[in-house]
Structure 1
Amino acid sequence: MSIKAIISGGGTGGHIYPGISLAYEIKDRNVNNKVLFIGTERGLESKLIPREGFKFEKISARGIQRKICFENIVAILIFFISLFQSFKIIKRYKPDLVIGTGGYVSGSVVLMAALLGIPTFIHEQNVVPGVTNKFLSPLARATFLSFDQSRKYFSHQSKLTLTGNPIRFKNLERNKSKDYQKFNLDPLKNTILVLGGSKGAASINRAVVQGISIIKEIIKNKWQVLLISGQDDYSKIIEIIGEDNKIFFVERYLYDIEKAYSLADLVICRAGATTLAEISAYGIPAILIPYPYATNHHQEINARILEREGAALVILEENLSGEKLAKVLVDLIKDENKLEIMAKKSRGLDKVDSAAKIINIIFNYIRKKNKK
């Protein structure tokens, strides 16, 4: 029996990539299974989903600001429009199930599916759940958690299942020689991977460039830096580092980030839940710089868990500077034993089979429902 599923979530890669992972898992079970993504034109999903080969339909959606303002009146009106748009898509597509992976766009889709009696499921990536998922959880048949620490934020405890965060790639073994060639990296050197999330992070880029310039004489013979700058900051970073540098290799954006993960011996990055799941899958020690404006400081809370487990060091944005980062880097690079321990701790946090766990639970529910 084939299954028709709708997956909705978007805005940033942190909500989109788990959905992509679940979509591939659904298709792997039966080539006749069908998956439709619903997102917005403005979100990153409008680029990423079609690139993965899945069908994609757009609705209107806008987030609610946490203050009294005119924009919220507009957002509420748009929400009711999105409910009507979701209704039309769901009635036409006739899904067997709907999965929400967070972000405001998933709110109207999952809500309408629940009102229509279609089994709905949600996945929460962060320790502190977003407003959308907290609102939808009582309506969902199950809520899947990436962190056990999230349980206290939900009221319906019986619906919660710890699964980890689905990552977008299954095969972690790669031909590294080809990946070194892709980035023009030296296979004899260790690699620091720098990324600021799906939209880049200018503050991290600047601190890394400044920090590496301070310690380049110490590291230049053994270490190199692969910096994923983000589209907006690429030209400026190239201008700052110059064309004759022998340490930095800069990319605007990577759709196939696993190629970079496979080469990384240390990563400097934000602390979005999906990024943390991916670096744990590869067992990469990390220096985490949480995004300071994340709702409810959820990135810092995510980061502190890895720090407590010994898999990462945390630098808050308010303390970030080239000098601070240089000191942390030198201390780590000189202590190979500490890097090895951090890598081992990182691997211990990995839940590679998260997508399979989630789809097993969903499909078992659908099978039992169909037998009644």
Structure 2
Amino acid sequence: MADPIRIMIAAGGTGGHVFPAIAIADAIREEQPGAAILFVGTRDRMEWKAVPQAGYEIAAIWISGFHRRLTLKNLLFPLKLLVSMWQSRHLVRSFRPDAMISCGGFASGPAGWVAARYGIPLFLQEQNSYPGVTNRKLASSAQLIFTAFEDAAKWFPEQKVRHEGNPVRKSLVSDVRDPEVRSEAFNHFGFDPGRPVLLVMGGSGGAKSINEAMFRHLETLHDSLGFQIIWQCGKHYLADVKERRNSSGNTPADYPDLRLYDFMDDVSKAWAAADLVVSRAGATTCAELMATGKAGILVPSPWVAGDHQTHNARALSDRGAAVLIKDEDLDEQLADTLSELIGDSSRRNEIEKKAAAMARPDAAASIARQILDHITKASARKKKPGNHNQTRTTTA
């Protein structure tokens, strides 16, 4: 019996890197149920919780991001980089992967670089319209580079790029348009199916400007416009949001149609219930917006590297698939924009159609098949008569 295929996946830091990586792993397991899959990440970021919850093993390396301004943490970066390279070397030698998939984030740099040096086929999955520095650095060593946005192709070697879209969880793609699933979602939140639902998200860490705008306009949105609201404010902001609500003289009873969360591990029910979405423009959120065909207002974070969220948002808004509001304009424009969209069903439907038209619901499956096909062909080449290099490379 042939040995099971062994895949190492490096991803971490934010949900934008982690969730596409998990979607690819799920797709590989569907194609090859016996595949051995090992994630590489960091202990202090969300992958350490999200990956085991998805049913996969994860190993840690000691790495963090390099701050673009002078900080004391940067003094440790060279040491962390050296240690993470040694740890990655140990993981590659012990796990002996047939392929390494880099989905960006802190861990992808050392793990991807070491795998390539050991002759392990390297594949990149880039979620953003403007690629992150890690994947740009690894591009020359990659076999194939899977992009989510067509705009990202210009940053990579043309012959390696495959525009596949951003992988999203299969359940999200298949379920949210099901009327029964939508009905179950309304029951889950205790909402009235006859009234509109607004989903508000600030990314995995929350967004202060979105939270501030929601505070300013909450009474208008909840009472005047009649929205039922699912508000994911971020774990760092939840206590403050509750305290400010209560100190203003309001209690949960004053907003009976508000559901407040720090973070939702499974956001599929929220997507199923939503009629309108307000969110940051992270890669995963944009992909889910397209996959679910929802009308969204995207508010790019001005604090991310390379301003990549603005690039993501423009990739949709320029095609009429979303509305873009700048972070500094949100407080002024939020309520009016939502009022216009909920009152103009034809415009909202047009945005939904254009968002759905940009979706690549089979992205994860297509990426998985191409990686597995590459492994199969590489294995066949090794087994040709006269080729004695039939074992996995484990020495530099």
TM-score range, shorter chain: over 0.9
Per the alignment, residue 376 of structure 2 pairs with 367
2:222–2:229 contact (8 Å) kept in structure 1: no
In structure 1, which of residues 333, 336, 339 is the aligned counterpart of residue 342 of structure 2?
A: 333
Q: How far apart are 1:199 and its partner, in Å?
A: 1.2
Indicate if the aligned counterparts of 2:168 and 2:364 stay in contact, CA closer than 8 A.
yes
CA offsets per residue over residues 239-278 of structure 1, 9 Å max, x none? 4152111331112211111111011110000000111001
The residue that corresponds to 2:233 in the other structure is: 229
> Which of the residues 307, 314, 318 maps onto 2:324?
314
1:163 is matched with 164
Counterpart selection for 2:58 from 42, 49, 56? 56
Give the distance between the partners of 1:177 and 1:235, measured in 2 at CA: 31
Q: 2:332 matched to 1:348? A: no
Once the two structures are superposed, residues 126-185 of structure 1 have per-residue CA deviations (whole angstroms, 9 ceiling, x without a partner) of: 01111100000101111111111111122x211111111000234324623332222222
Render the CA deviation track for 1:1-28: whole Å, top value 9, x for unaligned.
5311010110000000011001101111
Q: Are the structure 2 counterparts of residues 68 and 242 from structure 1 closer, same or farther at C-alpha, using a change threshold of 3 Å?
A: closer
- Aligned counterpart for 1:250 among listed residues 244, 247, 260: 260
How many angstroms does 1:75 deviate by? 0.9
- How far the C-alpha of 1:72 sits from its partner, in A, is 3.4
Pairwise CA distance, 1:50? 1.0
Q: 1:331: Cα distance to partner?
A: 1.4
How far is 1:87 from its partner?
0.8
Aligned to 1:34: 36
**2:371 partner SS:** helix
What amino acid does structure 2 have at the position aligned with 1:352?
Answer: P
Q: Is the Cα–Cα contact under 8 Å of residues 149 and 315 in structure 2 kept in the other structure?
A: no
1:182 matched residue in structure 2: 188
The counterpart of 2:211, out of the listed 205, 208, 229, is 205
Q: Which residue of 1 aligns with 2:290?
A: 280
Distance 1:137 1:189 in 2: 48
For the residue of structure 2 that corresponds to 1:134, the secondary structure is: helix
Which stretches in structure 2 are left out of the alignment for 5+ residues? Answer: 382-396
Alpha-carbon distance in structure 1 between the residues aligned to 2:154 and 2:83: 33
Q: Counterpart of 2:270 in structure 1: which amino acid?
A: A
Partner of 2:387: none
Kindly tell me: are residues 217 and 62 of structure 1, through their superposed partners in 2, closer, same or farther at Cα, counting changes over 3 Å? closer
Aligned partners of 1:122 and 1:142 also within 8 Å: yes
Distance 2:225 2:144 in 1: 49
Q: Which residue of 1 aligns with 2:220?
A: 214
| Unaligned 5+ runs, structure 1 | none
Q: Which amino acid aligns with 1:177?
A: S
Is contact 1:169-1:258 (8 Å) kept?
no
Q: What is the root-mean-square deviation in Å for CA atoms of aligned residues?
A: 1.6
* Counterparts of 1:333 and 1:67, CA distance in 2: 42
Count of residues paired in the alignment: 368
Structure showing greater radius of gyration is 2
Residue identity in the other structure for 1:87: R
Instruction: Give the % identical residues.
Output: 35
Q: Secondary structure at the match of 1:104?
A: coil
Q: Give the superposition deviation at 1:188.
A: 2.0
Are the equivalent residues in 1 in contact too, given 2:124–2:139 (CA < 8 A)?
yes
Deviation at 1:235, TM superposition (A): 3.0
8 Å CA contact retained: 2:281, 2:301: yes
CA contact (8 A) 1:185 1:249 kept: no
DSSP 3-state at the match of 2:273: coil
Aligned position for 1:324: 333
| C-alpha displacement of 1:69 | 5.9
Partner of 1:259: 269
Q: What's the offset of the Cα at 1:70?
A: 5.5
Runs of 4+ in 1 over 6 A off after TM superposition: none
Amino acid at match of 1:83: M
Distance 2:261 2:221 in 1: 22
- Greater displacement, 102-111 / 205-214: 205-214
In structure 2, the CA distance between the partners of 1:82 and 1:217, relative to structure 1 (3 Å rule), is closer
In structure 1, distance between residues paired with 2:162 and 2:118: 24
1:188-212, Cα deviation, whole Å (9 max, x unpaired): 2111100111111232122123223
SS at structure 1 position matched to 2:341: helix
In 2, Cα distance between equivalents of 1:158 and 1:136: 15
Partner of 2:391: none
- CA separation in 2, counterparts of 1:358 and 1:80? 31
What residue identity is the alignment partner of 2:202? Answer: G
Residue 253 of structure 1 aligns with an amino acid whose one-letter code is: F
Q: 1:115 maps to which residue? A: 117
The 10-residue stretch of structure 1 (341-350 or 206-215) with the greater mean CA deviation from structure 2: 206-215
Letter in 1 for 2:59: E
